Structure 1
Amino acid sequence: MSQTELLIMPILKHSASSATLQQQVPSFSAFHKLPTELQILICKNAVTRTEPIDLSKRVNQRPPEVTHVSKFFYTEGTKLYYRENTFLLPLPSRLAREENLHLDQWLCNSTTTEICKKMSKIVVQVSLPPDRSSLANLILLATHFQNESSEEAKKTIKLQPFITVPAEMEAILPVPTVATELETHVSEAFWRVFDGSLQDFAKGSYKIDWVDEEEMEMNAGVPLLERSVALGRICEELWLAIMNVWHPDS
């Protein structure tokens, strides 16, 4: 046997075994005969990930492709995907512009409300000092829990505050998480606003205190503008609440 043949043989064997496997997979029909507990365990392993699922990636904003294998995988796999995984809303400042845009679009989508309710754990990264874009994402997410109290919403949403450093220093200084005690205080500041202004905003009953008559004449009666003004006011309220924790003596 020549040297060329010796080199090619392993490749041919691998190709043959791959082809055989591809022929066998579609013909496997014993899965439904397995005990239900074993079917669910297999399905759970197929859709569960060890790391938090980054929702800024568009591919993660829907169940994985394996859920389309069969009706069982679609029904059980979709439930397990949302129940067993941890989902991450990262700091917007860390995202590429295109990814951040995808995340904004997803959070503003009306169908996201039902998807969020299926999730058992969502970790939201918030920058300290407060970054308005990360707070806006947090507010958008909170609107999907408009009919729940903070006690109920807290079972799903967990805030993960991060101390941010200037971009030019990121290569030298890591971005540390904050101490557990400070994280607790920041979360409490957010949930106080959640039970007040955020709930009113989500239910459409938020009353805007206009700065002056000119601002009211420019924006009043235009739903999109009123929503933007209301969102800005709540961002400011949340920003002040967190800053009081961040700089309690200021």
Structure 2
Amino acid sequence: MDLKACLEHLPEPAKRNVLMWCPYSSVIALGKTCTAWREFIHIPNQNLPIKRIMVKFGENCSRLQVGSSFASGKNQNSNLLSVQYQLVGGGCAVIYENSLSRGQKKLESEDYQDLFKEDLKILRKLLGNSILEYFEVDCETFQCSMQRRNLKNQFESFLKTITDIWDQAEKILSHTVPNVLERISFLPMDVAGISSGGNRLGLSVLSELPQWKNAKFINLTNFLAKSSMGLILHFESVLVHWLFFEPKHLIIAMEEFV
């Protein structure tokens, strides 16, 4: 049975219902798992309801999380898929899970990093006209200096094009001690209700706001910092927020990365 032919002519509500019940492991890792779904997502104007993407670099593994949102009657439901690509012997393992199921697929003689990048390419095509609300790059912290250096290089290569798109990224990196910066997020929202009037807020701007003064610990939308705001190197975890994020910018960055 040609699944693409069956789905292509379905009414839009029916298509979304099919997507809702499809395990997202069939959508990610498409290069090795499900040819029919790979063909289906290439249908013109197909708009999958992807809302958030997280990329995480770790020791001998990479993790990709994709969140979707779909309407069911009057309710808006969400689903989060987590796919981890990790080194296993001479090949790799792909571990995936969502709210309904968990599975693992072992692929012999495959490089987990190559497979991860291939799936990023496919994910880029999945974006379509989706309104992406959340994009995050996370880097694990390790004790080994070689691991930290390798991860830092990998992290910064990804952020290189982000710097070209969002000029604040360069300022952020220049004000952090190597390997202290753990996370950068791009969120289309005001930070703690603080509006910049349409301008991007950098760390230097945030550090001067009166809301930060005389606080031992501050946690605003996962923005965790120590009270000495004059020394950015004291940040334990840094999440940087921009107010207006366009998916096309992420697509450009992903094209450079992969």
TM-score (norm 1): 0.32
Between Structure 1 and Structure 2, the one with more strand by share is 2
In terms of fraction of residues, the more helix-rich structure is: 1
Asked which structure has the greater CA Rg, the reply is: 1
